């Protein structure tokens, strides 16, 4: 069973609020990812990290920001939430450079901005 956790699972928040979605993994994985997925739709990569102090933007432009201060923790922050940010956010992790292994996904955070 994958040891990657996301909190909260569900979040309803008002427009303009600042939010942080948490993602933690206990597998010691170097690579971590954030994906945005609307119901029944594709997975869009919005951020990824190769390790501590490494963050990169993904293919889909996002107003969110991420940080990687510790290996196990990869939080995503929205400074000012808008209804267009309503979506599901999935965090994933995999082993580091040179070891191509599967990605493990968290259960996701379903965000609704009203």
Partner 1 sequence: QQPVQSPQAVILREGEDAVINCSSSKALYSVHWYRQKHGEAPVFLMILLKGGEQKGHEKISASFNEKKQQSSLYLTASQLSYSGTYFCGTEMRGGGSQGNLIFGKGTKLSVKP
**Binding residues for partner 1 (CB under 8 A):** 31, 33, 35, 40-43, 45, 48, 50, 56, 58-59, 90, 92, 94, 97, 100-108
**Shortest gap between Cβ of 16 and partner 1 (angstroms)?**
29
Which residue, 110, 92, 112, 111, is CA-closest to 102?
Answer: 92
Nearer to partner 1 among residue 14 and residue 59 (C-beta): 59
Nearer to partner 1 among residue 56 and residue 63 (C-beta): 56
**Shortest gap between Cβ of 20 and partner 1 (angstroms)?**
20
Phi/psi of residue 86, each to 5°?
-60, 120
Phi/psi of residue 83, each to 5°?
-55, -30
């Amino acid at each position: 069973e994958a040891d990657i956790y996301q909190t909260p699972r569900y979040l309803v928040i008002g427009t303009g609020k600042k939010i942080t979605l948490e993602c933690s993994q206990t597998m010691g994985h170097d690579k971590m990812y954030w994906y945005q997925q609307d119901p029944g739709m594709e997975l869009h990569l919005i951020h990824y990290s190769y390790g501590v102090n490494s963050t990169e933007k993904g293919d889909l432009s996002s107003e969110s920001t991420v940080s990687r201060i510790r290996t196990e923790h990869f939080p995503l922050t929205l400074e000012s939430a808008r209804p267009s940010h309503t979506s599901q956010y999935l965090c994933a992790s995999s082993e580091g450079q040179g070891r191509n292994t599967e990605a493990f996904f968290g259960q996701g955070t379903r965000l609704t901005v009203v």
